[in-house]
Structure formats: C-alpha cells, structure tokens
Amino acid sequence: MIAKEYKSGVKPIWCPGCGHFAVLNAITKAFAALEQAPENAVLVSGIGCSSRLPAYINSYGFHGVHGRALPVAAGLKVARPDLNVIAMGGDGDGFSIGGNHFLHACRRNVDIVYVVMDNEVYGMTKGQASPTTPEHWEHSKLTPHGPEVRRFQPCAIALAAGASFIARGYSGDPNGLAHMLYEAVQHPGFAFIQVLSQCPTFCPEQVQWKKTVHPEDACTPDPVQAAAFLHADDGLAKGIFYRNPRPIWPVKHQAIKPANLRQGFEI
Amino acid sequence: MTSLTIAMVGSGGTGVVALGEMLLRAAAKQGLYGMLRKTFGPQIRGGESAAIVRLGSEVVANLSSDIELLLVLDWKNFQRFADEIPFTESTILVQDLQAGERPPNLPEPNTCLTLDFLGLAKAMGSSHSNLTMLGYVVNWLGFPQNAVVSAIRHRLQKHPQNTIELAIAVAQQGAELLRDNPIPLEAPLASSDRLENLWLASGNQLIGLGALEAGVRFVAAYPITPASDVLEWIAGEIESVGGHLLQAEDELAAVNMAIGASFGGVPAMTATSGPGMALMSEAMGLAVASETPLVVVDVMRGGPSTGIPTKSEQVDFNLAVYGLHGDAPHVVLGALSVADCHFTAGWATEIASERQTLVVVLSDQFLGQSSQIMPALETTGFGARLDQTEVSQTSQEGSSVETPPDQQRQQRYFRYLDTDSGISPLALPGQPGGMFTADGLEHNAAAVPSPKAADHEQQLAKRLRKLDSLVDSDHWAELHGQGSVLLICWGSLYQVSLEAQTLLRGKGIEIVVMGLRLLSPLPIQNIQQAMQHATQTLVIEQNQQGQFAHYLRSFDLGNLNFKQYCRPGPTLFTPREIVGQVETLISSAGANK
C-alpha cells in the first residue's frame, strides 16, 4: 500500500497549519515503508486535538479517556502481542493527567510505540498551559502570570524512568519523523517519540521552530551519555537520542505449571 | 448439635488466624462442613486478630448468632472484637494461663478452663501456643491424629521438615491436655462418606476460578484490601491457561488495561474495592460507550473514603448502579454466597462478552475473605463469547455517515450498527475489513465521532436495549420457601436470611427469601409478582441509608409497598437479628388490623 491509502478519509478537525497533519502523514509514510497490514495495527489515544488522529488512519483505533492511552495500549499489546500497537496523544494528555502512566510505561517496557505530539499547550480546551509550556508564557486566561512552573522534560524523564528508545521529531520534518517512527516500531520494547508539533492557533510563536530546531546525531546506548546530552539539551534538538533494548514485559517464563485450576480447592 | 461456633482471639502475630485455618482444614479432612471468618485490625502484625470457625454436619454458609466456645491466647485488644464475638455466660471459655487479665465488663462464664498452652509449647522449644490449642481442640472434636497432622503439613508446607515435625509434636502435647480437662459440650458429628468431594475455598478465590473457567485471560491488578486475594489467586493460575496478569500503577491504569485487552478480543477483568472502583468509574463509562466487554469486581468494605478496609459492608450499591457519568446502562450483579462467587463471576464474564458491555460484580469482605468447606463446585458452563463475528456488509439507513468518495471503509463495516437486539457485529483487530476506531466520543453507527442528536439518540437507545432481555434470565435471583412474608435481600445477607428462615419455621412462621443476583437492570416484574403473592415484604441490607431500598422505590410499584431494615456494618447480620425483624414486621401488621 502507498502512504495515502493508510488514510481513513475522515476529515481531521485540526486548524489550518496544525503540526498534527504532518504527524498523520509521517505515520502513513512509516506504515507504507513497514508494509504494515492495516488490520494488524492499532492506534490508541487519549483526549485532545492530537488524540483524534486514530480515526484518520485506515487501521484499528481506540480513542479512550483523557490521559489513559498508555494503559489501554499496554493491556492490548500484552493480550495481543501479534498487533502493532501505537499509543499517541498530546503533552497535556501524556505528561499531566497521564504522567504517572508515562513513568510506568517507560519502566514496564511493553513493546509499544508512544508518540506525543507536543505543542506545549492545551488546544482543545482553548489555550491553557500544559506541563511543557514555557514558565513565563502569559497567553492563558487561566494562568495570567504564566504557569510559573518548571517545564517538564519528557526525554530526560523517559530516560530516568527506563525507556529503551527515546527520540524527538519535528512536524516541520515529516520525512525525518517517518524514519523515526519506522525505527521505533522496529525497536523491541517501549519506544518514546516526542514530536514538536506546532499549534498555530494558540502558540503562533512556534513558527520559529523552523529556524531553531536543530538535528543532532547523538544516538547512544549509554544512559550516562544520553543523560548528559539531554540535560544540556535546549529542548529543540531533533533525532534519536537513546536506544538500548532490554527485556520486554511480559517476560517469557520457561516452566509454567500445567493448568489445573481446581486442584488447590480439593481437600 | 447441628453446628458449633468456636471463636479464637489473640494479639496480631500469636497465630490465631493460622489456628483457625488449621482447625477448618482438619475439619474438612474429617468430612465436616464449616466456615472460617478471619477478622483483623488495620495493622498486619502486632495489632489484633480473631478467627471464628463454625462447624456443622450440614453445609455452613454463614456465621451464627452465638459463640459456643471461645479460645483465648491473649486477652490484649479483645475489646476491639467484642462487637463481633457475642460472648455470654453460656459460652465456654478456654484460655491460656498467660492470656492476661480478662476484661472486667464481660459476663462471668459458667465454664472457664485455664490451661498452660504456652508453657507446654515452650517446654518443647516452641513458642506457638496456637499449636497446643489446636491439638487440644481437635482431640475434643474427636478427629484422629492424621487430620491435625495433614492440616499442619498444609499450613507449613514451605517450612523445613524439622519445623513441621516439631509443630506436630507440640500439637500432640496439646491433645494430651484433654484427658484431664474435658470440654463439657457436644461436638458436631463428622460424616466420612463425602470426604472425596469437599472443597475448601474463599469467595475471592472462587471469583477468580469462575472468571478463568469462563474464559477470562487478562487481568489487570492494583492491590486493595479486601480484593487483593482475588488478584493473587488469579496471578498464581492465569499463566497456566495462557493468560496474563499485569500489576498496574493505579486503578486508573488497571481498568484501562483491561479495556485495552478486551478491545483485542481477550476477555478481561479487574477486581478492586470501593475506593478503587470510584477511581475506575470514568473508564467504566468508556467501556459502556465504546461497547467494550469488561468485568469489574468490587469486594465491598466499610466506607466512605478509606472507611473500614478490613470489614464488610454493602455500601457500594449506589456507586455500582449510579456511579457512571452520562446515561450509561450497564449490568450489576451481586454474589449470594461464598460458593456463588464462582457462579456469578462466570455469569458476569458471559454477559460482558455477549452484550459487549460493562458488568460490575458486587461481593463483600465477608464473602471474599471467609473460607468455606463446601461440596465440590461443578463448572458453571458460562463462557465468554468474543469470537470474531462476520462484519456486516450492509449500509445503515437513516445514519448520518458521510462516506468520503475515495474511501470504502465506512460503507463496509458498521461497528455500532443499530440492530433489533442492540448488539452490533464486533470486529477484532487483525480482522481484515473490520477496521474501526472504538470511541468514548459519541459516534454514529460507523464509529465516526458525531454530536448529532439523531446519532446520540440512536446509540443511547441501542446501548440500553441490549440489556433488556437480561431480566428474563433464570439466574436473576434465588427464591427459597413459601409463605406470606417475603424477605428481599442481596449479597452476603442471602445465606443469613436462609438460616433466619429455618429459625422462623421452628416458630411456625413461613417466609419466602429472595436473594437478588441481578441488581441492574432490575427484574422488577418478577419482584412485583413475588410481592403480590406476599402479604408483607421486608427489604434488608447492610448499609446506613438503604441504598437498594431507595432504588427499589424508584420503580413504579403501584399499590405494593414494603418495609426496610438497614443498618451499617462492620458487624455482620445475624440470623437472630433477621428473625427479630420479621417478627416485628408481623406483629406491627397485626396491630394495624
């Protein structure tokens, strides 16, 4: 199948110029490169503008509740390891309401991909600060002085929590993102991609990303090296930063006792 | 004597619960029926604990109103259990020499035996007075030595051989005490002809068995008292049948993981208690809206908030029935006995898959954590039916689906097709031609998000309609007896009510006991029919506000009415308490004439 055949034909609700269109295109390109059978892929999302994406792809999808894409995806993958499961959503969904699941998904290392379309804002509720919003961003009525809260560092936190594949893409570079997705799907274990995906409606200043996002060839299997890089990072580096496969969950056990559910009750 | 109740108390760590468990297992070995209720304070060790064992020659499915024999290892903290151990002067007291001082405000027992259980154990190099006491009691019950030996071996199976040998010898020393210190009470007679067919199980374990036998193959778990042992039992067994149990980071994750697995076609459940189910309620609504099969088991404990985690109370009825946001029709079942946990969990699994919806199973701490000797259970015959269905090829008239000209997807498969039964053909991931996005957003028949009034009405109606025929199921309730008084109850009160029924019969009063298993949708016509045949109806439940009674009143009962008796936990309902309520009901009706 060619890339555009992976689109469902349902018209996206996104604003003109939204970065999520590019993410949608990158997913279809990656699927084409992977020769993905559409019926064997499941896109799982939470709530938010970006979480509407599964309906736009010609595959199975699950559009759940706010913040819980990762648990749905993990349950599905453990139950159905034959499927290609990709969880996705926005920065509010993934790092705020779903922040705890993000940490534990990194630890658990179920073999899924997690794509966070990070536009540093709650778009669907019309422009409130998210965990990745700059500290002094004063454009939300909810936080007129700016959030005045230190920004969440998704990639550094993913590393600390145990993610085995960490990358950052940019909606201005859909081909580069498609390549990252391709690699992430191939990676055995939990693969996290933060995508800088601009919101022209609430954060028009993100148009600057065109000039400020910079590719970095920093990929390492060494967590110490990756940590040093990510702590020095300005948040605008683009590339695969860390890649180090480790045992996935569920771990396969050799000796499973024979099924005899009733034996333990017998006197 | 048809049944005998022995209570055991001591501070946490003295082995009171182990004593109760070994006593029950020894009784089972001898072909006696019985039940063990463990009761703990909030601490795991160093607090207080008590065990109550009721033994009988017939099936024992609830506790009695009385305690015939009280074994005291240690009087410390007894007061905390005083409510649960109705100690009277006719209770025979057997206490350790070093049990400490008996609390002053207790009745003076007619018979009190003070024996040196601890000293005897210590003389043999053990500190376990519970073992000497076990030997003593089992000897009095007339069990042969092998019964106590096998109970000890089972209890200590993970211990080294010399520990086991010592324990057996200590128990033997305790048995010797009986010769000079007999207990002036008749022990229930054991029957040896049913030895082969007895089980020893708790309600929590049987929830697990019922679910796995019906096909559950994915369980997501977050620990909570008193539901953890549902999950722990399953964890030990589910891999042997090819499934997985995943320990989640919280209840929000647990319920969503189960939904994810179920979306993949693998029957899934989770188990929790009130606080956990409160956290799960958002995603439970998602299961309803997305029509994803899901079983959530709530082993109820005292509430609200953290409440009384280790005690039983029927307080989550409202949460289970009304706790979801939006118009979210779903099924609520209540298990009626320890053994019925097996049946009800199986039925829940089948309903969830068959009707593609949420089923909540209400159990409680009493059913869940009491162990019972029972006739071996037959398989329920229930099974999850979540096989791939042929997906519909036809389009739906009147639907607002907008089919993009270059895409055939929506024309081919209507995930949420509006059918007569309300149940739509279900495609599973991996099935070509069935691709759709399951959604908690309101959607049209083709699973495309839609806020249109017509779609909303259609989808709401179909989700409600698919539960309609459930009320016709034979399993809606257990009905027992004939008489002019109808006693309606649910959950763990059913077995207590049956014993009350027997006691009332002894007084010449015949009543009908209705134990409701299907709580929502409520089989109101069946209930009305039973009420019409009765001159009086009494609804009982173990919560302060009469949650079920209020619900029942919300239906149109015409000129039928009922009285209610409700009170909170943590003390259990007793048969005698229910007898008193029925007698009051009858006499008040007499006075009104």
The CATH number of the domain where A220 resides is what? 3.40.50.970
Compute the C-alpha angle B341/B343/B347, nearest 5°: 115
Q: How far is CA A212 from CA A16, A166, A208, A209, A235, in A?
A: 22, 20, 6, 5, 10
Pull the structure tokens for residue A263: 């034996």
Cβ atoms of residues B576 and B475 within 8 Å:
no
> Domain check: are B166 and B240 in the same one?
no
Pull the structure tokens for residue A113: 């991909």
> Domain check: are B269 and B361 in the same one?
yes
> Domain check: are B175 and B207 in the same one?
no
Closest chain A residue by Cα to residue B261? A76
The CATH number of the domain where B567 resides is what? 3.40.50.920
> Domain check: are B482 and B451 in the same one?
no
Radius of gyration (Cα) for chain B, nearest Å?
27
**pLDDT recorded at residue A257:** 85
Pull the structure tokens for residue B22: 């070994």
Q: Is residue B498 part of a domain?
A: yes
**pLDDT recorded at residue B193:** 66
CA distance A191 to A182: 11
Pull the structure tokens for residue B117: 């259980």
Higher pLDDT, A19 or B64: A19
**Is A252 in CB contact (< 8 Å) with chain B?**
no
Q: Which residues of B touch A161 (CB under 8 A)?
A: none
**Interface subset of A 170-229, CB within 8 angstroms of B:** none
Query: How many domains are contained in chain A?
Result: 1
Cβ atoms of residues B347 and B333 within 8 Å:
yes
Domain's final residue, options B333, B353, B375 = B375
**Is B459 in CB contact (< 8 Å) with chain A?**
no
Residue B240 has its nearest CB partner, among A40, A100, A256, at A256
The CATH number of the domain where B205 resides is what? 3.40.50.970
3-class DSSP state of B424: coil
pTM: 0.96
> Domain check: are B456 and B483 in the same one?
no
Q: Is residue B149 part of a domain?
A: yes
Q: What are the φ/ψ torsions at residue B549 (nearest 5 degrees)?
A: -60, -40
Q: Say if the Cβ atoms of A78 and B218 lie within 8 Å.
A: yes
> Domain check: are B49 and B88 in the same one?
yes
Query: How many domains are contained in chain B?
Result: 4
Q: Which residues of B touch A63 (CB under 8 A)?
A: 437-441, 449
Residue in B593, B581, B477 with CA at minimum distance from that of residue B525: B477
Closest chain B residue by Cα to residue A56? B437
Q: Is residue B286 part of a domain?
A: yes
Domain's final residue, options B445, B472, B499 = B472
Residue B240 has its nearest CB partner, among A75, A77, A259, at A259
Q: Is residue B383 part of a domain?
A: no
**pLDDT recorded at residue B410:** 43
Q: With pLDDT > 70 as the criterion, what percentage of chain A qualifies?
A: 100
> Domain check: are B368 and B307 in the same one?
yes
Helices B340-355, B203-213: inter-axial angle, 10-degree rounding: 40
What tens digit of pLDDT does each residue of A57-101 get? 999 999 999 999 999 999 999 999 999 999 999 999 999 999 999
Question: ipTM more than 0.85?
Answer: yes
Q: What are the φ/ψ torsions at residue B199 (nearest 5 degrees)?
A: -120, 155
**pLDDT recorded at residue A210:** 97
Which residues does chain B have with pLDDT short of 50? 392-410
Q: Is residue B154 part of a domain?
A: yes
> Domain check: are B564 and B576 in the same one?
yes
**pLDDT recorded at residue B2:** 80
Q: How far is CA A110 from CA A153, A162, B370, B570, in A?
A: 22, 11, 37, 42
Q: Is residue B396 part of a domain?
A: no
CA distance B579 to B560: 23
Alpha helical stretches, state H, B509-574:
524-533, 547-553
Give me the domain span that covers residue B531: 475-592
**pLDDT recorded at residue B187:** 83
CB atoms inside a 10 Å sphere around CB B140: 18
Pull the structure tokens for residue B474: 């034979």
Residue in B317, B216, B316 with CA at minimum distance from that of residue B268: B216
Q: Tokens 């609200």 appear where?
A: B304
> Domain check: are B467 and B534 in the same one?
no
**Is B63 in CB contact (< 8 Å) with chain A?**
no
Q: What is the DSSP letter of B63?
A: -
Cβ atoms of residues B194 and B153 within 8 Å:
no
Alpha helical stretches, state H, B273-423:
274-290, 317-322, 340-355, 365-369, 409-412
**pLDDT recorded at residue B406:** 42
Give me the domain span that covers residue A25: 3-265
